[in-house]
Every structure is written in C-alpha cells, then in structure tokens.
C-alpha cells in the first residue's frame, strides 16, 4: 500500500467508543464533500444514526443527495461469500458497485469517498478468522485500484483468550493504522 492509503482499524472495548469515532469519521467526510459509505450491523447503524442526529447532522438530506449510504454488513457479505470464504470476483462486483455508486455523489474536488466496513468483524466474531483476513486482503486490493479511506473496527473481546489461529497481530498487520480503545493511535504499519 502506498503511504497515502488509509486502511485503519479501531480495536474498541465499548460500542459507544466505536460509535463516537464513527460519528467523527462520517461528519468529517461529509464536511469536506466526500461521500460516505457505511457497511455495518443493524445495531451499529441504528446507534450511528442517533449519534449523528444528536450531533445535528441532517442525515436524510445527505442520503437524498447520495452522499451518505448505509448498507447491512451481513447482507453485503452474502453477496460475495461462497462456501464460507470471500470470492474475489463477487467481492469486486458487489462491493465495487457500492464504492462506485457512493463516489458518484461526492462534492469534493477529488470525488472523495470514506468507507466504514464491519464485515470483517462479523466474520471474526463467527469464528471465521481466515475468511476475515482474506476479506481484509480484498479490501487492500480494492484500495490499490481505487482511492478511498477505509475504516474497520473489531471489538477487543473478539481476541480475548483465543490462542488458536490468527489473532490481533494479524489483524493489525492488515491495516495501515491501528487505533486502540482509548482512541489513541497505537501504530502505523510501514508501507
């Protein structure tokens, strides 16, 4: 990945920490004219809408303009998972279309796009660690062909006490920036 690519991961303890950070990401993206695509669980989409509304963001207006799009993480996964693993071609077709559709409405001079994706955490929490890391690789491949900012998040509890297979180190290695639950940068991987 080039140094300009941002693929961050937030390892969070409390859902409120995730939602607070995600609200900041969305607000920042919208303020600079980017389009924002959020691929999250129903629970986190609902919490984010409440947080954005409380922050005074006119979500409906941004959604009508096509600059704010939310889709379900589990439904999106079903579009490209084959026999429990992400299929690269189906990922490029389904997620690629989401990325292109979202980017079309950007107002920034570079037609910027900010993405939050929670599909990897869904897989990880289901015990599908290898497929989650394969999906991280597909995201990194997408970043190498399209310019956008990608933010992921995993609950720290997903890594507690599990010593079988890949773990937190492999997740961190798949990202350019790592943010811990105190909202502090704890690492930047060399490109």
Please write the tens of the pLDDT for every residue from 63-76.
Answer: 999 999 999 999 99
**Total tally of structural domains belonging to the chain:** 1
Range of the domain at 55: 6-183
Helix ranges, the chain (H): 15-31, 42-54, 59-64, 73-78, 88-103, 119-125, 129-145, 168-173
Q: Is residue 189 part of a domain?
A: no
Q: Which residue has the tokens 């920490």?
A: 17
Asked whether the beta carbons of 76 and 45 are under 8 A apart, the reply is no
Q: Is residue 103 part of a domain?
A: yes
Other C-beta atoms closer than 10 Å to the C-beta of 131 total: 20
What does the pLDDT average to over 7-14? 93
User: What pLDDT is recorded for position 45?
Assistant: 97
User: What pLDDT is recorded for position 110?
Assistant: 77
Question: Whose CA is closest to 36, among 7, 5, 66?
Answer: 66
Q: Is residue 188 part of a domain?
A: no
**Model confidence pLDDT, tens digit, residues 56-109:** 999 999 999 999 999 999 999 999 999 999 999 999 999 999 999 999 888 877
Q: Is residue 36 part of a domain?
A: yes
Q: Is residue 190 part of a domain?
A: no
Question: Whose CA is closest to 105, among 46, 134, 63?
Answer: 63
**Model confidence pLDDT, tens digit, residues 104-146:** 888 877 778 999 999 999 999 999 999 999 999 999 999 988 8
**CATH number of the domain to which 172 belongs:** 3.40.50.300
Helix ranges, 111-180 (H): 119-125, 129-145, 168-173
């Amino acid at each position: 990945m080039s140094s300009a690519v941002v693929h961050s991961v937030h390892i969070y303890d409390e859902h409120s920490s995730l939602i607070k950070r995600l609200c900041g990401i969305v607000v920042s993206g919208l303020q600079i004219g980017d389009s924002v695509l959020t691929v999250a669980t129903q629970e986190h989409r609902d919490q984010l809408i409440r947080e954005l509304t409380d922050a005074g963001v006119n979500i409906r207006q941004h959604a009508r303009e096509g600059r704010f799009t939310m889709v379900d993480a589990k439904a999106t996964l079903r579009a490209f998972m084959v026999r429990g693993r992400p299929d690269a071609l189906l990922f490029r077709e389904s997620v690629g279309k989401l990325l292109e559709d979202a980017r079309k409405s950007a107002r920034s001079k570079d037609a910027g796009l900010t993405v939050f994706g929670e599909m990897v955490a869904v897989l990880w929490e289901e015990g599908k660690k290898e497929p989650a890391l394969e999906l991280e690789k597909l995201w990194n491949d997408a970043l190498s062909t399209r310019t956008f900012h990608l933010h992921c998040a995993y609950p720290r509890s997903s890594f507690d006490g599990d010593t079988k297979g890949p773990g937190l180190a492999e997740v961190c290695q798949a990202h350019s920036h790592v943010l811990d639950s105190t909202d502090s940068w704890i690492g930047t991987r060399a490109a």
